[in-house]
Chain A
Amino acid sequence: MKGLAQLALDTAVARGAEFADVRFLESEREDLQVKDGQVGGVDRSETRGIGVRVLHGGAWGYAGTDVLTREGAETCAAHAVALARASATVRREPVVLAPEPPRRASWSSDCAIDPFSVSLEKKLDLLFRVDEALRGVKGVSIAEGFLTFVRKRQLFLSSEGSEIDQTTTRSGGGYSATAISEGEVQKRSFPGNDGQHQTLGFEFIESVPWVENAARVGEEAVALLRADPCPAGEADIILEGSQLALQIHESVGHPSELDRVLGMEANYAGTSFLTLDRLGTLQFGSAIVNLVADATLPHGLSTFGFDDEGVEAQRWHIVRDGLFSGYLTSRELARRVGDARSRGCVRSDGWHHIPMIRMVNLSLVPGKGSLDDLLADTDRGIYMETNRSWSIDQLRYNFQFKTEIAWEIRKGRRVRMLRNPTYQGITTRFWNSCDFICGPEAWAPWGVTNCGKGQPGQVADMTHGAAPARFRGVRVGVGYDD
């Protein structure tokens, strides 16, 4: 492993690279699906390869290969240099990296029970027990469940002398019940719409009450077919943690990526309203809103020792007491916001793709009180749970979400179930309307495994922790109100 990576690094330097780093990555993955009483798929996959990133003439080149021979490594490195040379012909300012001390380290995520050592029978038995409970509810049309396990081992070498070996194990799963009538397709999911995932071993799967929740999930899906529609208009809304996690992801995480802010994602994902002049000046949210980026969060999906540039994991505020306070940065761009060092947010989704700024774990700091306390404090409102649909403009102002289910709140109590709940808003007005955030007892980390960004597209995972929170005067019932 190290020999080929070192050969690729030496080749890049010998061919004139001012800077180079090499990642040798091997990963394995297992996906199991059960749908309507049958195995939907049992897939094992593995991949190994080398990615070489170089600076030459102040410009980037990147090549990845799965030809794991001496010739393959040398060719790959030479190709990366050739790409950088071509880049330099259309470059106005040279790339200058923020300094970073060389690191020699190894790091592993927690994993008490290796998920790849757990028998297939045991995993399928869990999925079939959930499936049986879901389909035991009269009116459930489709029952689906899945388990996913991922392990990645990466050796990082850089021309500055870093050598970092990291291993991450991720376990997760989820299920849903769908009920269908003539005009409605209603769905309930558990734990969230993307299941739940953590950087732990199979012990994480064993800690979740999968079967215990299945009947409720099925019953709610069926009940939604006959529930009243979510009213249209303005309402105070309470968002459950997993929905709030996606709200954080879309309206806080992406706009604070510095590459977006500086126009580097303009052609695809877009730019950001969090322009440099707003750092430290924009009242992003109300004074109780604190949002913290944290690559050290226990069991988070973007928890690591070092990012893919060899920068150590960090924790810092993106929003402090409501004020916009920080960006997600890289070694290339940190200086653009006056930082001497990168915040360590650069990751790639494999050896074949160049590392880029990706969200690390980003969470809403809990306030005080339980969900019951929050509901009791609400005279009239709508409590929304579990994401079903999301959309936001390319500067991250105008968003619209749909959740799977909602309840109308009157005088502190849930009085009726509502179907097809939607809400729409403008990011800063929305976060400034936040007047209640529940406490640590209601806070949970929610894993997101399908975050797309970049060209070529890359899929990253990260965690957003949140406790339920209330937002005043939000437009609801959008999309069903004409």
Chain B
Amino acid sequence: MTRDDAKSVLERALSVVGEGEGEVALGGGTSHLTRFANNEVTQNVSERRFVLSMRVVLGKRTGRASGNDLSRAGAERLARAATAAARLQPEIPDLLPLPDPQSYRTVDADDEPTGRLGPEERAREVARAVDRCLRAGVTAAGIYETGRGTIGEYGELGTLAIANSRGLFAYHVGTDAAFRISALDGAASGWAARESYRAADIDGEALAARAAEKAVRSRDPVSWDPGRYTVVLEPAAVADLLTDMSWISLGALPVQEGRSFLSGRIGQRVVGENITLRDDSYHPLHRGSPFDGEGMPTQPTTIIDRGVAKTPVYDRQTAAKDGRQSTGHGLPAPNTVGPLARHLVLEGGSGPAEALLQGIDRGLWITRVWYTNVIDPKTVTLTGMTRDGLFAIENGKITRAVRNFRFNQSVVQMLNEVEAMSAPELAGGVVCPGLRVRNFQMSSVTEF
């Protein structure tokens, strides 16, 4: 949907809001995904989906309704539902008025060839990857997906465009491409992935080669005892841990409610001095939206600066409570989740992750982690499994496969134990380096 089309839909929707003020937003786009397993394509799917969301504000009352009928009649139905919802509920004392018009940066994230990539091209890329795995004697499974708009991993819709009765209007569209591949040999497996806003950056065959090499290396794992190890975490593993930390800690709401490790510690050193963590949707590897779910401009925000807690990210509601300005990290208001840092950047070093092996006498190489979940929110202690390539590091070299571990590890403590970092890359939606970390807690061994 073009900027003009989006504006037209939103203006039409705003025009049917009768009583009070209105905020209207569009989310959606097109998404295509070719899925393969056992060396053949098993699913090939495509969707086109847009949702119009309307919020009506009557003083201190507000209601929201959404639907995928973008016509005038559809908007009128939403207006009736949202107005009725607003009328029938008690006042929200903390409810803020709608924001005034804002200025936004332009983000170049709409790659035309990616937007029109077809199923034949995806199939060819998949075929090259499958052939590479077959040559290595392993089985390929994975996906090649492309899209344009704001359809998320689980079908959730971000904000493509937003407008309100006060004249605010914002629009941003981006493309995305991702190739993820697992190579399997019985219970031994390897994995590699690449994501970008440009399909031209995807090289399925190279990813297949990397995954296949790991799968072959993962054969016949030895069992090591649980305990604390020096580990090298590839960027994909780091990204998973930081994402969980962000959800429960880096927004202003958990900080204000006392649930975050940052609560009461702004201005204090909370992690190692070599750690600087930012949220920056303008980073060239992210190219995210320049505005949030409230229509506020997204500001690059340094959350931790050389180990010192600087600030969480804010939406309008939490900012008002702290006497601050929104940093543009809000979800559609009102909500009970609070603002979220979704374009994390962990500053790193230089060189490849393999350089982090140096100086490790006995440790573990972690390709990625799986099924992480929170054990203790205040220390960001997570449990999870290693997956798709856990290797022994002995005398500075990867020597053999190790049976996968379950870990129970505080991410805050981990960021106090970082010895070295590789060059950052985009992995799992986070720009981050690989890390060499001391004292990473492995709790139990699994069967493979």
Contacts and interface: CB of A to CB of B under 8 A. Distances in A.
Contacts of A79: 46
A90 B47 contact: no
Contact of A457 (B153, B258, B446): B153
A419 to B, nearest CB: 11
B444 A86 contact: no
Contacts of B48: 64-67
A73 to B, nearest CB: 12
B376 to A, nearest CB: 7
Interface stretch (A34-42, A199-207, A285-293, A299-307): A34-42
Interface in B44-83: 44-51, 62-69, 77, 81-82
B44 A398 contact: no
Contact of B334 (A41, A46, A459): A41
Interface stretch (A9-17, A177-185, A370-378): A177-185
A426 interface: yes
Interface centre among A35, A65, A87, A422 (most CB of B within 10 A): A87
A180 B259 contact: yes
B383 interface: yes
A19 interface: no
B180 interface: yes
Nearest to A95: B42
Interface residues of A, number: 93
Interface stretch (A119-127, A156-164, A309-317, A319-327): A119-127
Contacts of A208: none
A279 interface: no
Q: Most chain-B Cβ atoms within 10 A of its Cβ — which of A59, A85, A266?
A: A266
Nearest to B50: A66
A393 B67 contact: no
Contacts of A185: 258-259, 376-378
Contact of A44 (B81, B187, B370): B81
A455 interface: yes
A474 interface: no
Contact of A45 (B65, B124, B184, B383): B65
Contacts of B62: 42
Contacts of B41: 59-60, 86-91
A39 B92 contact: yes
A398 B33 contact: no
B182 A41 contact: no
B38 interface: yes
B36 A90 contact: yes
B383 A391 contact: yes
A122 B426 CA distance: 48
Interface stretch (A189-197, A348-356, A409-417): A348-356
Interface residues of B, number: 96
Contacts of B381: 479
Contact of A89 (B81, B127, B141, B371): B127
B336 A144 contact: yes
Contact of A394 (B85, B124, B385): B385
B40 interface: yes
Interface string A81-100: 01111111111110000000
B371 A392 contact: yes
A397 interface: yes
Interface centre among A61, A420, A455 (most CB of B within 10 A): A455
B181 interface: yes
B385 A40 contact: no
A210 interface: no
B447 A397 contact: yes
Contact of A267 (B37, B40, B377): B37
B39 A92 contact: yes
B184 A124 contact: no
A458 interface: yes
A40 B336 contact: yes
B123 A86 contact: yes
Given A391-B384, A452-B154, A456-B153, A478 B444 contact: yes
A386 interface: no
Contacts of A398: 385, 404, 406, 444-447
A60 B42 contact: yes
Nearest to B142: A267
A62 interface: yes
B94 interface: yes
The residue in B46, B63, B139, B406 that gathers the most chain A C-beta atoms within 10 A of its C-beta is B46
Contacts of A456: 31, 33, 45, 47, 145, 151, 153-155
A478 to B, nearest CB: 6
A351 to B, nearest CB: 9
Given A41-B336, A266-B37, A479 B383 contact: yes
B387 A65 contact: no
B47 to A, nearest CB: 4
Contacts of A270: 370, 387
Contacts of A422: 375
A264 B42 contact: yes
Given A273-B447, A394-B387, A424-B406, A41 B64 contact: yes
Contacts of B67: 45-47
A263 interface: yes
A479 B258 contact: no
Interface in B370-402: 370-378, 381, 383-385, 387
A135 B229 CA distance: 44
B49 A393 contact: no
Nearest to B228: A482
B46 A426 contact: no
Contacts of A128: 90
Contacts of B77: 46
A25 B344 CA distance: 37
Contacts of A43: 63-66, 85
B127 A33 contact: no
Given A47-B67, A84-B44, A92-B39, A39 B31 contact: no
Contacts of A263: 37-38, 139, 141, 184
A44 B384 CA distance: 36
A141 interface: yes
Contact of B154 (A86, A354, A457): A457
Contacts of B371: 391-394
A371 to B, nearest CB: 27
B127 A119 contact: no
A273 B447 CA distance: 10
Contact of A63 (B47, B120, B126): B47
Nearest to A33: B336
Given A49-B49, A267-B141, A393-B404, A354 B40 contact: no
Contact of B45 (A91, A183, A354): A354
A347 interface: no
A262 B42 CA distance: 12
Nearest to B38: A263
B84 A120 contact: yes
A183 B258 CA distance: 10
Given A91-B40, A180-B257, A479-B375, 11 more contacts: A39-B92, A40-B335, A49-B68, A84-B44, A120-B85, A128-B90, A263-B184, A354-B43, A391-B384, A456-B153, A475-B444
18 contacts: A41-B64, A41-B335, A66-B68, A83-B44, A86-B122, A91-B40, A124-B89, A264-B141, A267-B142, A270-B370, A271-B184, A389-B373, A391-B373, A391-B383, A391-B406, A395-B446, A457-B155, A479-B375
| Minimum-distance CB pairs A-B, first 6 | A86-B119, A398-B446, A457-B154, A479-B408, A266-B141, A40-B336
Interface of B: 31, 33-51, 62-69, 77, 81-82, 84-86, 88-90, 92-94, 118-120, 122-124, 126-127, 130, 139, 141-143, 145, 151, 153-155, 180-182, 184, 187, 189, 191, 228, 257-259, 334-336, 370-378, 381, 383-385, 387, 404, 406, 408, 441, 443-448
